Chain A
Amino acid sequence: MNKILLIIQREYLTRVRKKSFIIMTIVGPLLMAAMIILPAFLAKWSENTDRKVAVLDETGWFFEKFKNEDHLSFYYVFGDFDKEKEEALSKRGDLLLFIPLPELNVPVSAELYANKQAGLNVTSYIKSVMKQTVENKKLLASGIDPDIIKSSKVDINLVNIKVDEAGIEKKSNTEVEVGLSIFAGLMIYFFIFMFGAQVLKGVIEEKSNRIVEVIISSVKPFQLMTGKIVGIAMVGLTQFLLWIILTLIIVGMVQLFFMGSDMASMQLPEAQAGLLNPATQSEGSNPMMIVTDILGSINLPVMAISFILYFLGGYLMYASLFAAIGGAVDNDADTQQFMFPVSIPLIFAVAMSGVIVNQPDSTLAIWMSMIPFTSPITMIMRIPFGVPFWELGLSLLLLVVGFTLTTWMAGKIYKTGILMYGKKITYRTLWTWLSAR
């Protein structure tokens, strides 16, 4: 037992001390933090520039219709187009909105001149005001009071409520769930391959360095294999933990030092928020509130614990198979030959993600979340939509049975394979090793 600990320790320390590990640990949170902070930061930053728009309205329809907003103000000019354009652009750096007189029709086109590209919030505000104005005029021309139309408008707010078996109703927000579901599934897929590949690489390294026989004269091959797998699993968990902590620290620091405390209460312009995420338009446009919303609608502790458990289970399942492949083969070409069939279930699970999120409770989804080869990905995708605890428990139990079985099988192949050099390995050979006493 003591020797297994030594192996775990070596596997862990040599990897954690590597430059690539340290770089990944720092770059990961930076990317995550950037993903969280950047949209809000950009929105705030673009909003902060004050813009003035000179309106040259030949139709006269829009006089006094444009209202000043927080960082956007309007003034009206009545001169010659060329002169006004030159004055607005060159002398004051403003924008010029030119609404030409249409020959026949109502004014539906306009031109916006600027030295610097006008922001999305500017253009969408102008558009919405013009649209509103023209529509109102047309309604009036047809004898309809725009106020009647306004008062007849309703906002339909469809709330998805999931009723579980105990009859407890829960508000749910499908878009957020789909996002989280696919994100979590992809992460598990990515991590299983990333850390599984490290196991494969480690085994091949020991075999091609010819150190393996030196080591297994002191410890059993199975101890060496499991020590390596556990050591690398701990590297993975360390990386998760550091990522989470560092991401929180970076986000916190950026909030504190660069954006001030008002970031949390910051408002995006209505139109922009609507464009970015139509689903949340009715719930207010605060980006922090969107995050809070995500956190609120899903059972996060269950999700987090399941994520760790399914990562570990799936990793153990596949890492042992990868170790067996590494032990059996001599070169990269052979590795590919065996890697592909082993990876198929994982790839299949990811390929089916669209089907799973559409119908998380379908028979296919339930079966895939039970079979240990696909369950780490499929089950983690189902959890945001709510999964009964007995299904979760059964799936985890099957996963434990699954990785015990693959580890046992892998141990047999590994133990024979690591001492074989220069032999072409076929499925037949593997079967002989597997069925050997």
Chain B
Amino acid sequence: MITLEARNITKSYASHTALDDVSIEVPEKSIFGLLGPNGAGKTTLIRIINMIAVKDVGEIWLNGKPMQPSDAAHIGYLPEERGLYKKMKVGEQAVYLARLKGMSHHDAKTKLRWWFEKFEIGGWWNKKVEDLSKGMQQKIQFIVTVLHDPRLLIFDEPFSGFDPINVNLLKTEILRLREEGATVIFSTHNMASVEEICDRITLINQSKNILSGDIHQIKQSFKTHTYQIRYQAPRNLLLPANKFEVVNDMKKGDYQEAQIKILTNDTANVLLQQVMQQAEILGFNELLPSLNDIFISEVGNNNGL
């Protein structure tokens, strides 16, 4: 089942087109990556989904129905530009933001207590926000985003400004929320940060959708039949140049590591047979392109580089 579908969204500002016929499909309980360089139009699309910006053309469907203003209560949105009232107390502020989402005062308080316990920040309730560190404030922002049990979570550049420990904490929580039935959208230009947790991605560049699909299929379709072999041998590998290209072969401590591209339709077995005759194999694996590689090659092509 598709949770969120954006169909042919176009949005123009006075001086430029922010989105040009962009469509995305986010299946239920998936983690979806909306990727693209800065200025590609990601934030505009996210704002349109959150009904903060108005689209010129296109439709947004949520759970099989055109989106209504009341649906905002089912979305948890962590914007890229995020902050809190500095002079307000943490607990009071969190309750206020939760009530704006439509929660009752009592529910908001109970749930907040639970989350504060979980993140071990119970003592912050009566502190002013300005007395907290940036990382602490981000924890609060995360809690406020997910507090009302939204079915759809949207994070715009979620990990910018987080330290690695908090990034892990957040990833764990997001995966747990997905287990509990939430659908998650990440918008980011930092591919490495979402590569391991995204199921599907859409790549946007210069206002256009240039690549969409299941992350494993995309990686497969972009693979270059390159393999990495670790071995021990008295000398470097010697392979027929018409069948294999040695991209790299160098000594690493007491073993050698080589990246070899198969140029024909041969399988990896053929390569292994060749190597086995010359060396003792310690490790072998296929090298799939990282999202970053795909991104750079696609965006580069797209920009005519």
Contacts and interface: CB of A to CB of B under 8 A. Distances in A.
Contacts of B72: 217-218
A211 B96 contact: no
A210 B81 contact: yes
Contacts of B54: 437
Contacts of A217: 50, 52, 72, 75, 77, 79
B271 interface: no
Nearest to B75: A217
Interface in B94-125: 96-97, 99-102
B96 A6 contact: yes
A421 B82 CA distance: 13
Interface string B12-44: 001000000000000000000000000000000
Given A217-B50, A217-B72, A211 B83 contact: yes
Interface in B190-208: none
Given A213-B52, A214-B141, A432-B14, A219 B100 contact: yes
Interface in B70-90: 72, 75, 77-79, 81-88
Interface in A193-244: 205-206, 209-211, 213-219
A254 interface: no
A215 B82 contact: no
Contacts of B79: 210, 213-214, 217
B45 to A, nearest CB: 14
B144 interface: yes
B140 to A, nearest CB: 11
A157 B174 CA distance: 87
A191 B47 CA distance: 38
A207 B75 CA distance: 22
Nearest to B54: A437
Q: How large is the interface on A (under 10, 10 to 19, 20 to 34, 35 or more residues)?
A: 20 to 34
B294 to A, nearest CB: 30
A314 to B, nearest CB: 28
A3 B141 CA distance: 20
A29 B14 CA distance: 53
A217 B75 CA distance: 9
Contact of A218 (B47, B82, B83, B101): B101
A10 B92 CA distance: 10
Contacts of B84: 209, 211
Contacts of A308: none
A346 B54 CA distance: 36
A252 B47 CA distance: 59
A10 B88 CA distance: 10
A205 B84 CA distance: 10
Nearest to B141: A214
Contacts of A6: 96, 99-100
Contacts of A211: 82-85
A421 B86 CA distance: 19
A14 B85 CA distance: 11
Interface of B: 14, 47, 50, 52-54, 72, 75, 77-79, 81-88, 96-97, 99-102, 141, 144
22 contacts: A3-B100, A7-B100, A14-B85, A14-B87, A209-B83, A209-B85, A210-B83, A213-B52, A213-B81, A213-B82, A214-B78, A214-B79, A214-B82, A214-B83, A214-B141, A217-B77, A217-B79, A218-B102, A419-B47, A419-B81, A432-B14, A437-B54
Given A209-B84, A214-B144, 12 more contacts: A3-B100, A6-B96, A7-B100, A14-B85, A14-B88, A209-B86, A211-B84, A214-B141, A217-B79, A218-B72, A218-B102, A419-B47
Interface of A: 3, 6-7, 10, 14, 205-206, 209-211, 213-219, 419, 421, 432, 436-437
Q: Lowest 4 A-B CB distances belong to which pairs?
A: A210-B83, A213-B79, A218-B100, A209-B83
